[in-house]
Copies of this chain bind each other. A is one copy, B any other.
């Protein structure tokens, strides 16, 4: 893979997608990293990674931070939630690169890739494919050989773990937030159920739908599952939808959860869900998780969310205990996994405190 800036291929150009576009998610850049041979044995040609940068790379190239993205998010929400002057991820101190994962809708994704890899023919991807693609971008475009921090939530945490295991010499610090190094059976069944909700819609047609409306029923079932698994009993117990101006819990699910997901391309989501479900750093060590996490040399803060329904604290703790010198930093939230959206000011305070401390740690 060789990274170069290039005009987007035809499929990434007009007409602009009503959701995956510069107006909604930009400004972002596209880099062509060349061919990507996937773990599943496909060759994606001219792979485009969508990314943004904040701040300036210092002369000795030691202040780069890589931020990864989650299932429902692009670089835009990561910027909004994590980056800013005076924040832990301060662009006046760090050169922050946020790379949108493959199939995020920005950059190479099923919905915008030309035949024969279009839509349902887009290859099955792995978290490792993303990390190798990101590695190509960072090393070739900026000549980076060191990352002060890799940080990401949920699927972004999976990529963070993959980075720390795959390129230990490069990753100085890592902060996986609300995610696993190796997926559990419990979470895998959850992911399978999310995928089945969409794929079972006759309108999905094996990914050959022509319009989002054709898959709306399946996408609403997908939303309906997020309603109780993405949030949590505490969220509804305390009616945390109320301060947001919703009239009822159902009003919140439609106005917040459905409003978010129904804009997205179902095929892009399915490709990501499949990656999520199979995320497993132990594949690098013949299934030996202890051996894989034993390779990590970064200083790691494992940061689960206290009420997460599918990345629960205890499972995160068991992984954390396999990483030398790591620390468990539980984020208290009543929003479940959706704590990630940082609607609560206390969430942001905790994230910043832990990331600041991690970044201040000598390694």
A residues with a Cβ closer than 8 A to B are: 184-190, 192-193, 196-197, 200-202, 217-218, 221, 224-225, 227-229, 231-237, 249-250, 253, 309-310, 312, 314-315, 318
Q: Complex formed: what's the CA distance from A233 to B180 in Å?
A: 13
Q: CA–CA, A314 to B197, complex, Å? A: 30
Complex CA gap A186/B196 in Å reads 21
How many angstroms between the C-alpha atoms of A196 and B250 in the bound complex? 15
Collect the chain B residues with CB atoms within 8 Å of residue A225's CB. Answer: 193, 225
Number of identical protomers:
2
Closest to A252 in B: B185
Q: Which of B186, B196, B253 contacts A189, CB < 8 Å? A: B253
The 6 A-B pairs at the shortest CB distance, nearest first, are namely A185-B249, A185-B236, A189-B227, A189-B228, A186-B236, A186-B233
**Neighbouring B residues of A236 by C-beta, 8 Å:** 184-186
23 A-B residue contacts at CB 8 Å? A184-B233, A184-B237, A185-B250, A186-B228, A186-B237, A188-B249, A189-B224, A189-B227, A189-B249, A190-B228, A192-B224, A193-B225, A196-B221, A197-B221, A200-B200, A200-B201, A202-B202, A225-B225, A228-B229, A228-B310, A233-B315, A237-B314, A237-B318
A117 CB, min distance to chain B CBs, angstroms: 28
